[in-house]
Amino acid sequence: MTKERILVTYASKHGATAEIAEGIGAVLLKRGMEVDVMAIDRASDLAGYAAIVLGVALYMGNWRKEAVRFLKQNEAELSGKPFWLFLSGPSGVGDPIELLKGRQVPPSLQGLLDRIKPREVTVFHGALTPEKISGFERWIIKRVKAATGDFRDWSAIESWATSVAAGFVPQA
């Protein structure tokens, strides 16, 4: 019996979302699934995948443009498969959704997500490390008093990935 493949793809600015995607892929692999983890710009053919997990970095409150393009270009394919979406980005202490002040899905994308119908949309804390960002970005962070550091909750990420694995039932 051949296993069906799951794609975990991501749009990351400085690598934190990519690392979360790798962690999710490792959990799915440990659960006996065949998994490909790759940057969104390499995920062009979705036909060979039975399910898809997409990770989107939130950067200064905005979705990565390549993720928006991916959703629009693959709407039909994504709406016909099990699809999960995670966002990463809020830094600081506290509930990541509260830190976003309810702005996790831009109003311009809500209709698209309503049509695709992800099984779940979740938000993880991100990592904002000064040594990985430009001088201009450090200046902005200082002006808005954003918290810096690695705020990712790996146990929450592992728990979510486990629920994704449990929610995926391969086709017979």
pLDDT along the chain (172 residues), means of 10: 80 92 97 95 92 90 90 95 91 70 80 95 83 68 72 94 86 49
CB atoms within 10 A of CB 60: 11
Question: Could you give the C-alpha distances from 100 to 32, 46, 103, 120, in angstroms and in order?
Answer: 34, 30, 5, 17
Distance from C-alpha of 117 to C-alpha of 128, rounded to nearest angstrom = 30
Distance from C-alpha of 67 to C-alpha of 55, rounded to nearest angstrom = 8
pLDDT tens sequence across 70-100: 999 999 999 999 999 999 976 777 776 666 6
Domains, the chain = 5-163 (3.40.50.360)
* Residues β-bridged to residue 34: 5
Contact criterion met (CB below 8 Å) for 40 and 172 = no
